[in-house]
Amino acid sequence: MIVVTGGAGFIGSALVAALNQHGESDIVIVDELGSDSKWKNLLGKSFKDFIHKDNFLSRLESGAFSDLKAVFHLGACSSTTERNLDFLLENNTEYSKRIISYCLKTDARIVYASSAATYGDGALGYSDDDGEQTKYRPLNGYGFSKLLVDQWAVKESITDKITGLRFFNVFGPNEYHKEQMRSVVLKAYEQVKREAKISLFKSYRPDYADGEQMRDFIYVKDCAQCMIWLLENPDKNGIFNVGAGQARSWNELAKAVFSALEMEVNIEYIEMPEQLRDQYQYYTKADLSRITTAGWSGPRYQLEQGVRDYIQGYLSSEKLYW
């Protein structure tokens, strides 16, 4: 049995789709559906059971899953604007530590989602080495709640037995329920369909032209492929960056959207809200040396390929979900 927490969410449901493609259907999905459209991510998926996240820990720790093979713990509050730190530490940090601790006791494979938000503004680098984890300064409570799990794992000397994944800027199908946390690819596609243009934030640093702020964009199918590889290689453990290993500009992303839609490029630059300016990252790039040394082949999709597959294979087609 494989448990996927956050299995109705963006990356979680993509992982379930990939597991199904690899012949896995003995899957328990843990999540909370609420009143949004997240439940649609489960349509067409093959899984054994669905358990609300509030009921999962007690069942797990009581030994209800005696045939547990692996847990992919991807569930969390991922809102970078969440201000309730007590909630984040309980929901993200302590919840993760309890799942990890149980898996260690039972020798179940545990892969959990950390985040590139742990790196803060990137001024201190993007190293996923254990010895670097105390130096980072996240810009928001979400990143802080994730960093605490990683730091705990290092302090407890268990990173050789568990796997934490620091996903960078993920985009792709099944993100539709995420509201303001949806990728710029999806927001740009919707704006182009409405207005035939894409709005990008102006730069407030002289070393970056407007739209030349850079991110490491990774297609969600590559994230799923990486986790399948980890399932097949249970001896590959540690805290790993998962990205494309390339820094690409917002201008390049916008051009990729227009290209996928076979439209002329039309970009406008708008003012960034003042409350975002002090927290804005101008550059991110995943250092993939640790995970590629471990054996991962790296992402299969370049930015342009991922954007084209997303737009033409899902957003512009009748197949909206993966």
The 10s digit of each residue's pLDDT in 309-321 is 999 999 999 899 9
Q: Which residue among the candidates 97, 161, 178, 236 is catalytic per the annotation?
A: 178
Instruction: State the pLDDT at residue 78.
Output: 85
Instruction: State the pLDDT at residue 276.
Output: 82
Mean pLDDT of the 245-263 span: 97
Task: Read off the CATH number of the domain in which 13 is found.
Answer: 3.40.50.720
- Same domain, yes or no, for 9 and 125? yes
Please give the share of the chain, as a percent, with pLDDT higher than 90: 91
Instruction: State the pLDDT at residue 127.
Output: 93
Mean pLDDT of the 163-188 span: 95
Helix ranges (DSSP H) in 62-138: 85-88, 95-106
- Same domain, yes or no, for 119 and 155? yes
Q: Is residue 178 flagged as an active site residue?
A: yes
- Same domain, yes or no, for 212 and 258? yes
Q: Which residue among the candidates 112, 136, 142, 219 is catalytic per the annotation?
A: 142
- Same domain, yes or no, for 93 and 116? yes
- Same domain, yes or no, for 190 and 226? no
- Same domain, yes or no, for 197 and 86? no
- Same domain, yes or no, for 63 and 106? yes
User: Can you name the residues that pair with 95 across neighbouring β-strands?
Assistant: none
- Same domain, yes or no, for 257 and 109? no
Instruction: State the pLDDT at residue 79.
Output: 82
Q: How far apart are CA 42 and CA 266, in angstroms?
A: 36
Q: Average pLDDT over the chain, rounded to whole?
A: 95
Number of domains in the chain: 2
Q: Which one, of 227, 224, 200, lies nearest residue 213 by Cα?
A: 200
- Same domain, yes or no, for 38 and 152? yes
Task: Read off the CATH number of the domain in which 260 is found.
Answer: 3.90.25.10
Q: How far apart are CA 32 and CA 52, in angstroms?
A: 5
Which residue carries 């993966």 as its tokens? 322
The CB density around residue 205, as the number of other CB atoms within 10 Å, is 11
Instruction: State the pLDDT at residue 94.
Output: 97
Q: How far apart are CA 149 and CA 151, in angstroms?
A: 5
Q: Is residue 126 flagged as an active site residue?
A: no
All residues at 6 or more sequence positions from 264 whose CB lies less than 8 Å from its CB, including other chains: 258
Question: Domain range spanning residue 127?
Answer: 2-168+218-244+283-300
Q: What six digits make up the tokens of 36? A: 């949004």
- Same domain, yes or no, for 293 and 305? no
User: Can you name the residues that pair with 17 across neighbouring β-strands?
Assistant: none
- Report the amino acid identity of residue 163: T
Strand order in the sheet with 109-113: 49-52, 27-31, 2-5, 70-73, 109-113, 163-167, 238-242
User: What is the pTM assigned to this prediction?
Assistant: 0.94
Instruction: Judge whether 2 and 19 are in contact, CB under 8 Å.
Output: yes
In the predicted structure, residue 181 carries a pLDDT above the cut 80: yes
- Same domain, yes or no, for 49 and 197? no
- Same domain, yes or no, for 111 and 183? no
Which range is least confidently modeled, 1-15, 80-94, 160-174, 228-242? 80-94
pLDDT digits (tens, 9 = 90+) for 99-145: 999 999 999 999 999 999 999 988 899 999 999 999 999 989 999 99
